[in-house]
Structure 1
Amino acid sequence: MHMTQETETVGFVGAGLMGHGMAKNIVEKGYPLTVIAHRNRAPVEDLKGRGAKEAETLEDLASASSIIFLCLTASPQVEAVVAALKPGLKKGSVIVDCTTSDPTSTLRLAAELEEIGVGFADAPLGRTPKEAWEGALDCMVGASEETFARIQPVIDTWAGKIVHLGGVGDGHKMKLLNNFLSLGYAALYSEALALSRKVGIPIEKFDSVIRGSRMDCGFYQTFMGYALEGNREAHKFTLSNAYKDMRYVESMANAATVATPMASAAKNSFASAVAGGGDGPEDYIPHLTDFIARANGLK
C-alpha cells in the first residue's frame, strides 16, 4: 500500500477510455477512491467491485477527496466540472486535470481555485487506453514544486514516465506540442497511404519498407494496426477529440503569434473527416485513412 504522511483520499471524474484504467490502478495500489458515473455505468460498477466508493454528486465527491483527478474531453467540460465541485472542495485539496485542455483555461481555473485555497495541476497523458490499464502511461505535469511532490505518488500508480515540466499550464502546452506531432503524423500517413494505393503500391509493400526503417516509430505501428490488420481499436482516440486538440494547438499558436502552415494543414485533415461523418464515439484516429482515401476516390 502506498502511504503519504496522511493518506490522501482520491476522487476521480471521467472513468472513460483512459480514466477507467487509471482509476483501477489508483484503487488497486491502495488509495481510497471515490468515483462518479456519467453516461456509462459499466466502468463505475467495475471500480466499485475493486473497492471504490461511488458519489452521487460532484459536490459529494469533492467533500470526500483531498486529490481529485479529472479525465474529460475538453476545457468546457473541465470548467463545468470544477464549478460543480467547488461547493464541496476542502481548503488544501488539489485538482489534477489530465484532460488535453486549452492552457488559457487552465491558468484561469488555477487562479480562481487559488483564491479558495485549492491547488491545481495539469497532468495530461501520452499513450493509449492499453497503457492506462497496465499503469504505464506517459504524464507531463505543470505544477508548483510543492503540489508536484504531493501528487506524484498517486500519478505513479498509473504512469510509467512522469516529466515535471514547470508551472501550471506547462503540462497542457507540452501536451499540445506532443499531439501536434502525433496527429501531424496521422495526417501524413493517411495521405501517403492514399497516394500509395493510387500509384499501385499495396499497403503491405508500403509497410514492409517503412517498418524497421528510420521512418518507423511507436505511433506509426499503432496507427497501422488498422490500415494493415483492420483492427478498428488499434488506437482508441476519437477523430473529434483529435480535431479539438488541433484547434487548441492553433489557438495556442495564435496567442503566441506563430504561423502554423503545418498545424493548420493537419487540422484540416481532421476537420474534413469530422465534417464528413467521422464524429462518432467509435471513429478513431487510424480511421482517418478511410476519409482521406474516400476524398481521393478510393474505397
Structure 2
Amino acid sequence: MNPYSSIGFIGLGVMGSAMCANLARKSSLPVHVFDTSKEALAEAVASGAQPAESATAVARAADIVFLSLPSIDQVETVCAELARAGERLTTIVDMSTSDVARTRALAKALGERGIALIDAPVARTREAAVKGTLMISVGASDAGFAAVQPLLALMGSDVLHCGPVGNGQTIKILNNMLVFMTVSALSEIITLGRRAGFDGETLFNLLSKGSADSFVLRNHGMKSLVPDSFPEKVFPLVYAIKDAGLALNLAREADFEPHIANYTYDLMCRARDAGFGQNYHPAIVQLVDGRVTPSTNEPD
C-alpha cells in the first residue's frame, strides 16, 4: 500500500524536469512542483504537475517532497523552509548530489522534527532521466526504502538500497569520480592515438571490441571526445568539479590521498579557468592535447 497521498517536487533543471515528468505521468498521485524558472514550471505543468508558488506551498500540499538541486547549500536552505511549513510532510527525498557528512547531519536535524530524509542521487544521462532508466543510489532505513522504492522506480530502472542515510551519496560521488578519471584517461588515449595516425572514431571503435571497453568510452568517448563536441547545459565542468570536490572530501575524511582523483580535479579546474566551465566536462581534452593553455581559451 502506498503510504503517500500527494507528491512534491522542487528543482526542475536538466535532470529534475525529466524525473518530475515521469512522476506526474506515472504515479497516479497529484504532483505539486516549484522552481524559480517560470519556463521550467510551465513545462512541468504541461506534463501533468500542479504549480506551486513556493517551496512552502509545496510542503503544505505534499506528504513526500523530492529535491533536485545544485548542491547541499540549496538542499539545507530548502529543507529548513519545508520543515517550517510542512504540517503534513513526513519524507524528503534528496535526489541532488550532496555532501555526505552534511546530509547525515541534516537527516538528524529533520528527524528531530518528525521528518525522514532519504538521499537518492541519480546517475546516467539526461536521456535516461527522460526514459525513466536512471540508476538511483538510496541511503535509507529498510522501512524508508520500502516506502519510497515504488516512486523511485518510476524514475529509475536500477533503484539500489546502499545502506543508511548518506550511503546513497557515497556511491553516487564515487561513481562520478570514476567517470571523471576515466574521461581523463580517455583524453590521453585519444591524443596518443591521433598522434599515432588514427582518427578518434576508428580508435575508439577498435578499443570497444576489447577489454578497454566501457560505458564511458562508448558514451563520453564516442559521443563527445571523438566529434570534439562539448555543448553547454550538458553536465558542465563546474558541476563535475563540485562532485569531484565531494569525492576529495571523502578521501580526506578517510585519511587517503587519491593521486589520480587529485590530478583529474586539478585538470578540470584548469579547464574551467581556461574558459570551459559551462561546457560538457570532457572538454578537458583540449588541455590534454595542448590546443588550449590554462591561461586562455584560444587555440595555440
TM-score exceeds 0.5: yes
Any conservation in 2 of the 1:71–1:99 contact (CA below 8 Å)? Answer: yes
Q: What does residue 99 of structure 1 align with?
A: 96
Q: Does 1:155 align with 2:152?
A: yes
Q: How does 1:13-52 map to 2 (within 5 A)?
A: 13-29=10-26, 30-38=28-36, 40-52=37-49
CA RMSD of aligned residues (A): 2.1
Specify the SS of the correspondent of 1:245.
Answer: helix
Q: How does 1:127-166 map to 2 (within 5 A)?
A: 127-166=124-163
Deviation at 1:89, TM superposition (A): 1.9
Q: What does residue 176 of structure 2 align with?
A: 179
Number of residue pairs matched? Answer: 293
Letter in 2 for 1:292: V
Q: 1:6 to 1:205 in 2, by over 3 A?
A: closer
* CA–CA distance in structure 2, aligned partners of residues 201 and 278 of structure 1: 26
Deviation at 1:265, TM superposition (A): 1.0
Taking structure 1 as the reference length, the TM-score comes to 0.91
Q: How does 1:1-299 map to 2 (within 5 A)?
A: 4-5=1-2, 7-29=4-26, 30-38=28-36, 40-90=37-87, 93-223=90-220, 224-232=222-230, 236-280=234-278, 283-293=279-289, 294-295=291-292
* CA–CA distance in structure 1, aligned partners of residues 202 and 59 of structure 2: 54
Letter in 2 for 1:289: V
Deviation at 1:271, TM superposition (A): 1.0
Any conservation in 2 of the 1:91–1:118 contact (CA below 8 Å)? Answer: no
Percent of paired sites with the same residue = 29
Deviation at 1:175, TM superposition (A): 1.0
* CA–CA distance in structure 2, aligned partners of residues 174 and 6 of structure 1: 27
Structure 2 segments unaligned to the other structure (5+ residues): none
Deviation at 1:259, TM superposition (A): 1.7
Letter in 2 for 1:290: Q
Any conservation in 2 of the 1:179–1:245 contact (CA below 8 Å)? Answer: yes
* CA–CA distance in structure 2, aligned partners of residues 106 and 60 of structure 1: 23
Indicate the larger mover: 249-258 or 195-204: 195-204
Letter in 1 for 2:285: T
Q: 1:234 to 1:222 in 2, by over 3 A?
A: farther
* CA–CA distance in structure 2, aligned partners of residues 210 and 295 of structure 1: 26
Specify the SS of the correspondent of 1:229.
Answer: coil
Letter in 1 for 2:78: V
Runs of 4+ in 1 over 6 A off after TM superposition: 296-299
Any conservation in 1 of the 2:237–2:272 contact (CA below 8 Å)? Answer: yes
Deviation at 1:233, TM superposition (A): 5.2
Any conservation in 1 of the 2:119–2:166 contact (CA below 8 Å)? Answer: yes
Specify the SS of the correspondent of 1:257.
Answer: coil
Any conservation in 2 of the 1:225–1:234 contact (CA below 8 Å)? Answer: no
* CA–CA distance in structure 2, aligned partners of residues 36 and 221 of structure 1: 35
